[in-house]
Amino acid sequence: MAARIQLPASAKRGEIVEVKVLIQHPMETGYRHDDVGHLIKRNVINVLSCRYNGVEVFRADLSSGIAANPYVQFYTVADKSGELEFYWIDDEGMQGSEKQPIQVT
């Protein structure tokens, strides 16, 4: 699962930074049928979490009510240089993670 994560490479201490996460995922609702009429099993990303140097700063429980290729934008306070670690898991147990460094001055 490919993901695109956007956050500033550097920030001032205490600055509120914008974090954009876009994950490539069908977010299959479980209400659609395939060509032969079988129901397609639900497969959505349940949990998306963001840790900043090991501390969870954001978490989202998503459902089929979130559009395909889920996009979430949130904010966090830049307090120390380090890493933002993103982690997500879908109904089929597929896990994804991504790391993004941030330089705090």
Taking the complex as a whole, the smallest distance from the CB of residue 54 to other proteins amounts, in Å, to: 12
Q: In whole angstroms, how close is the CB of 97 to other proteins at the nearest point?
A: 18
Q: How far is the CB of 16 from other proteins (least distance, A)?
A: 4
**Cβ of residue 22: shortest distance to other proteins, in angstroms?**
10
Nearer to other proteins, 37 or 93 (CB): 37
Q: Is 2 or 77 the residue whose CB approaches other proteins more closely?
A: 77
Query: Applying CB under 8 A, which residues contact other proteins?
Result: 16, 27, 29, 31-33, 52, 55, 57-68, 70-77, 79
Nearer to other proteins, 9 or 67 (CB): 67
Residues 84, 7 contacting (CB under 8 angstroms): yes
The residue among 71 and 101 lying less far from other proteins, judged by its C-beta, is 71
Per the CB < 8 A criterion, the answer to whether 47 and 23 are in contact is no
- What are the beta bridge partners of residue 17? 76
> CA angle, 87 as apex, 83 and 90 as ends, to 5°?
170
Q: How far is CA 52 from CA 56, 81, 93, in A?
A: 6, 10, 24
DSSP conformational letter for 93: -
CB 46, CB 91: distance < 8 Å:
yes
